[in-house]
Amino acid sequence: MEWLTRYKDGAVIARTASNALTVKNVSASDAGRYSVHVRGLCGLVAQGQEVTLSVVKKPVIIEQPRNVLRREGQPFTLNVVADGQASYQWHKNSQPINGATSAEYRVDNATIAHSGSYSVVVTNSCGSIVSRNVRVLVSSTAPMFGNLEFATPR
């Protein structure tokens, strides 16, 4: 009779006569290096090649971007913090921003045209998540005067 001893990260996890290892309801704690040794009555018969199980879950946003208020000519930065490896695509007014594909979106010289609603889509191999919408408001550097009336003292 042959016995299979299964290892995870070098530690024994199971000894059985079954030739299958099934991991149900995989969680992050199941990630690791797995191998198997087959023993017969006369000792070690075979040693399987080690395999790595990586557990990837949908991205989670840990820190959402924040609203920004700037004057023309000032820089602004939008940031998002997500867990794990991911790709990013920033959007302005629901349209993708060309080249804005990192966790940080930076504008060095803000103009009125940068005002709008921004969000970022965070994606990995298991799915995507969209950040909350934030507002960027860029105001003119020139003082705004309404209808002013000037009077001369008498």
Q: Is the pLDDT of residue 100 over 50?
A: yes
**What was the pLDDT predicted at 145?**
60
Q: Which domains does the chain have, with CATH numbers?
A: 3-53 (no CATH), 61-139 (2.60.40.10)
**What was the pLDDT predicted at 1?**
47
The model's pLDDT over 51-81, given as tens digits with 9 standing for 90+, comes to 888 888 899 999 999 999 999 999 999 999 9
Percent of the chain with pLDDT over 90: 52
Q: What is the rounded distance in angstroms from the CA atom of residue 19 to the CA atom of residue 17? A: 7
Collapsed DSSP state (helix, strand, coil) of residue 43: strand
143: pLDDT confidence band, cut at 50, 70 and 90? Answer: low
Lowest mean pLDDT among 17-21, 34-38, 57-61, 122-126: 17-21
**What was the pLDDT predicted at 22?**
76
Distances from the Cα of 67 to the Cα of 1, 42, 70, 138, angstroms: 68, 70, 10, 11
pTM: 0.67
Distances from the Cα of 147 to the Cα of 139, 144, 150, 154, angstroms: 19, 10, 10, 22
Average pLDDT, the chain: 87
Task: List the one residue out of 37, 39, 33, 36 whose CA is nearest residue 8.
Answer: 33
Residue with the bigger pLDDT between 94 and 55: it is 94
Q: Is the pLDDT of residue 39 over 70?
A: yes
